[in-house]
Amino acid sequence: MDFEKATDKRVTLVGAGPGREDLITIAGLREIQSADVLLYDALVNTKLLDYAKPNAQRIYVGKRSGKHSLSQPEINALLLECALTKNHVVRLKGGDPFVFGRASEEIEYLESFGISVGIVPGVSSAISVPASQGIPMTKRGVSTSFWVMTAATKEGCFSRDLKLAAQSSATMVILMGVRKIKEIASFVSSYRIKQTPMALIQNGTLPKETCITCTLNTAQSAFATVDITQPGIIVIGDVVADQSSFYDEEIQRVLHSYL
């Protein structure tokens, strides 16, 4: 029995999806159900924790813009401690673990102690949150590629990739950029035509989801009162025109600028 338990020990990184609880995968839900301990992030829907065994330990290790409850080394150490003392450890991350999820760091840390890590991918917020607003990543005759990036480098300035992306015809998806959204619009408008549509979606796939659409040209007024304490996903590209209220919002904004 002890031997069986010992071989049963494992750590699984699970993508929780973009927000709505039923956007987790079947495989992901099964891992939650068999977990002895769950370490979960800020962007994970906490309703998912209800599917865990009643006696499973639930540990919040969330990070939010500017507010770290645990540093990455602290999370790594906690993961290791759990892996050594519990049978099945589930590390639950918002969206997909391999998209800006720092999953690789956690995997490498655990593997350096001989602990192998399973991965269950999740529905990435980068793709599915725009989708929830009817914005596709690619569309025949409109966009044949998409580029997912963060706004700023560790040094705080815009990355060279942001410039190349602005010069390309790719749909741009920018994560962790809400605080700089007006600067981003201004920067990209040096390279793309000013009528290029743009969107900011916050609380994606959740009941309180909001979406603001505009063009690069009207972005400064459109995003004047955005709640920058909430994370959000920025999309720039002609595909944004597929969002249902894009044309109405833009006409209102242009008309208003003449009043």
Give the residue with the Cβ less far from a copy of itself, 87 or 159: 159
Give the residue with the Cβ less far from a copy of itself, 40 or 158: 158
Q: How far is CA 29 from CA 38, 86, 126, in A?
A: 12, 19, 21
Minimum distance, C-beta of residue 219 to a copy of itself, in the bound complex (Å): 21
Answer yes or no: 176 catalytic: yes
Give the residue with the Cβ less far from a copy of itself, 135 or 214: 135
Give the residue with the Cβ less far from a copy of itself, 79 or 135: 135
Question: Do you know the residue count of the chain?
Answer: 259
The interface with a copy of itself within residues 27-66 (CB under 8 A) comprises: 27, 29-30
Distance CA 16, CA 24 (A): 5
Q: From 84-92, 95-103, 187-195, 213-221, give the range in contact with a copy of itself by CB under 8 A.
A: 95-103
Please provide residue 241's backbone torsions phi and psi, each rounded to the nearest 5 degrees. Answer: -65, -15
Distance CA 123, CA 10 (A): 23
Q: How far is CA 108 from CA 8, 114, 118, 141, 254, in A?
A: 20, 10, 12, 41, 51
The interface with a copy of itself within residues 171-230 (CB under 8 A) comprises: none
Q: Of 169, 170, 166, 253, whose CA–CA distance to 212 is shortest?
A: 253
Where does this chain bind a copy of itself (CB under 8 A)? Answer: 15, 17-18, 20-27, 29-30, 96-105, 107, 119-124, 127-128, 130-132, 134-140, 142, 144-150, 153, 159-161, 164-165, 167-170, 239, 242
Residues identified as active-site: 41, 63, 176
